[in-house]
Amino acid sequence: MQHYSGFGLIKHSLSHHENWQRAWRNPTPKKKYDVIVIGGGGHGLATAYYLAKEFGVTNVAVIEKGYLGGGNTARNTTIVRSNYLWDEAAHLYEHAMKLWEGLSQDLNYNVMFSQRGVLNLGHTLQDMRDIQRRVNANRLNGIDGEVLDAKQVQELVPHMDCSANTRYPVLGASWQPRAGVARHDAVAWGYARGADAHGVDLIQQTAVTDLIIEDGACVGVKTDRYGEIRADRVGSVVAGNSSVIAAMGGFELPLESHPLQALVSEPIKPILDTVVMSNHVHGYVSQSDKGDLVIGAGIDGYNGYGQRGSFPTIEHTLQAIVELFPIFSRVRMNRQWGGVVDTCPDACPILSETPVKNLFFNCGWGTGGFKATPGSGHVFAASLAKGEMHPLAKPFSMFRFHNGALVDEHGAAGVAH
Amino acid sequence: MLHIYCPHCCEYREEEEFHVKGQAHLARPLDPEACSDKEWGEYLYFRKNPRGLHHELWVHAAGCRKFFNVTRDTVSYEIKEVYLIGEKPSVVAASVSAK
Ligand SMILES: Cc1cc2nc3c(=O)[nH]c(=O)nc-3n(C[C@H](O)[C@H](O)[C@H](O)COP(=O)(O)OP(=O)(O)OC[C@H]3O[C@@H](n4cnc5c(N)ncnc54)[C@H](O)[C@@H]3O)c2cc1C
Ligand SMILES: [Zn+2]
């Protein structure tokens, strides 16, 4: 793998940047792998990367039906934070946060991780009590967090309307300074390049159409382009399409796939240097390095695999944003899109063994899995390498919906992010 | 924006007047106490979530507030039929869908 550096940039400028090595190969799959990962989004690619780099399993293929990162990874609004309420979730997301903090160096790829802080606003007395409770829980888990009052919020975000004149006045917020945003495509590409360099085969434009199951164990997959490809273990990391793969294995998951939309404005001058989220008026906004306002909110209520939703949903989102930032009312929106998110009843992911032996699922991240990409990939890789779930993943078994040990994160995950 | 025909109001109305309530035809176990944890958990949480034809329950929340069923394609979002509670859908996925 060609090492990226400032010096390399200068060197390649001498040949007009025409001689860069391709970031990854485009191989024809082998007949058999140790591990097949279905889905080349951020989580699948991170899984493959850590399998090869940390756990010594290099005979790995990632099978992606479209292009790498073209699913939710490239459609999300890139908020990264770890201020979840319950220990199980807090440990998992904080594991990811620690990996984020060294990720660009580890991958030798600039993922533009920017720890600009995230505010979760409170607009009611109950919001503020929940915020106090969550921040206290975070701090007990060693996760940074502060409770701010309206005046402190106003100092951080001078353009937001923190006056008492609004319909839902800002009473305060939780503030996680280490939280922030990252460049989503770069995360997928950085992991892809790293995985490829460690020998992982990235198979694009190839859909898994069925699972090969012999004696109750998964022994490979069928694909539309290369027929059967065998493997000792198969990990499904397909987000919104997880129920489709589960149906191939003959079981159901506690998931529903919903459209989740987002939109960006025309680029404007720097006006917002942190991330503002509000569960109560239901919207969130940050500003990208290019200058666009990046805006999102909640899912469309109906199930949908169409990667688009209904207009009223984004209309409500913008109402919330304009309520918070009247100054944005005449900014024009440039692009709008949707992804398919796999929502789980307790707003926590599924990292799990399944009723089929040697078949593992990583899904259910719903509206907020981008932030977990490195941690999710790391613990899932450990689980696939060993054939047994990593301790951080154990609480997120799909069978918690049988025994009732749910991890209810609806409070911390209230607005889609 | 979906335009949904309410079979009670006998009119097409805009999506915003309705709420979707998830998979249709979920029967509550007659004797919950007799269920195993697995059976009860599956009733509460596990769902079909098909990519394609789906039968779902809707309520005309800002209208007559009555419930009804819809068969809808979850990829094109096209509504194939609307039918009353207690009725069976007439548009169903090819029977191979189980595997
Ligand atoms: C609008 C929007 C905003 C969001 N905002 C945030 C946010 O601010 N912060 C945050 O943390 N999270 C956010 N999320 C959630 C986040 O995007 C996801 O949780 C995360 O990206 C999931 O990553 P993944 O790799 O699991 O899935 P994906 O990136 O969706 O990858 C799954 C891949 O599997 C492939 N696939 C599917 N079926 C098959 C098949 N049969 N064969 C082969 N390949 C298949 C797909 O093509 C896809 O590339 C947002 C999501 C959306 C849609
Ligand atoms: Zn009606």
Q: Name the closest residue on chain B to residue A403, using Cα atoms.
A: B37
Contact A241 B50 (CB under 8 A): no
Q: How far apart are alpha carbons A142 and A137 in whole angstroms?
A: 9
* Structural contact between residues B71 and B53, judged by C-beta atoms closer than 8 angstroms: yes
Give per-residue pLDDT as tens, A298-355.
Answer: 999 999 999 999 999 999 999 999 999 999 999 999 999 999 999 999 999 999 999 9
Ligand 1 pocket list (CB less than 6 A):
A 38-44, 63-66, 70-73, 75-79, 207-208, 237-239, 241, 260-262, 296, 339, 341, 365, 367-371, 417
**Does position B96 have pLDDT exceeding 70, yes or no?**
no
What confidence tier does A1 reach under pLDDT thresholds 50, 70, 90?
confident
The 8-class DSSP code of residue A301 comes to: S
Q: Work out the angle between the directed axes of helices A42-53 and A184-197 (0-180°, nearest 10).
A: 30
User: Which among A250, A253, A305 has the least Cβ separation from residue B46?
Assistant: A253
What spacing in Å lies between the alpha carbon of A383 and ligand 1's midpoint? 20
**Residue A149 Cα to ligand 1 middle (Å):** 35
Place of tokens 């001078």: A158
CA distances from A409 to A27, A52, B17 (A): 41, 32, 29
Distance CA A51, CA A360 (A): 14
Residues in B closer than 8 angstroms to A245, CB to CB, are: none
**Residue percentage of chain A with pLDDT more than 90:** 97
Dist. CA A155–CA A214, nearest whole Å: 62
Joined together, the tokens standing for residue A66 give 């479209």
Asked whether residue B41 carries a pLDDT value surpassing 80, the answer given is: yes
Mutation target to probe the B interface, by most B beta carbons within 10 A, among A238, A302, A346 is: A302
Q: Which CATH architecture has domain B3-83?
A: 2-Layer Sandwich (3.30)
Please name every residue paired with A212 in a beta bridge, in sequence order, or none if there are none. A220
The predicted structure's pLDDT at residue B94: 73
pLDDT tens digits for B46-70? 999 999 999 999 999 999 999 999 9
- How many whole angstroms separate alpha carbon A275 and alpha carbon A200? 35
3-state secondary structure of A338: strand
Which positions ≥6 away from A320 have C-beta within 8 Å?
A278, A281, A282, A283, A297
| Domain residue limits, chain B | 3-83
Q: Rounded to an integer, what distance in angstroms lies between the CA atom of residue B44 and that of residue A143?
A: 33
Residues of B in contact with A254 (CB under 8 A): 45-47
Burial class (CB in 10 A: 0-12, 13-18, 19+), B57: middle
Mean of the per-residue pLDDT values of chain A: 96
Residue with tokens 């040949």: A15
Q: How far apart are CA A143 and CA A94, in angstroms?
A: 7
DSSP conformation class of A3? P
pLDDT for residue A14 is more than 80: yes
**List of chain B residues whose C-beta atoms are within 8 Å of the C-beta of residue A302:** 2, 20, 56, 72, 74, 77
Nearest to A117 by CA among A149, A146, A90: A146
| pLDDT at B99 > cutoff 80 | no
With contacts defined as CB-CB under 8 Å, which chain A residues touch B50? 243-244, 247
Phi-psi group of A172: left, alpha or beta (phi > 0 → left; psi -120 to 50 → alpha; rest → beta): left
CA–CA dist A365, A219 (Å, integer): 26
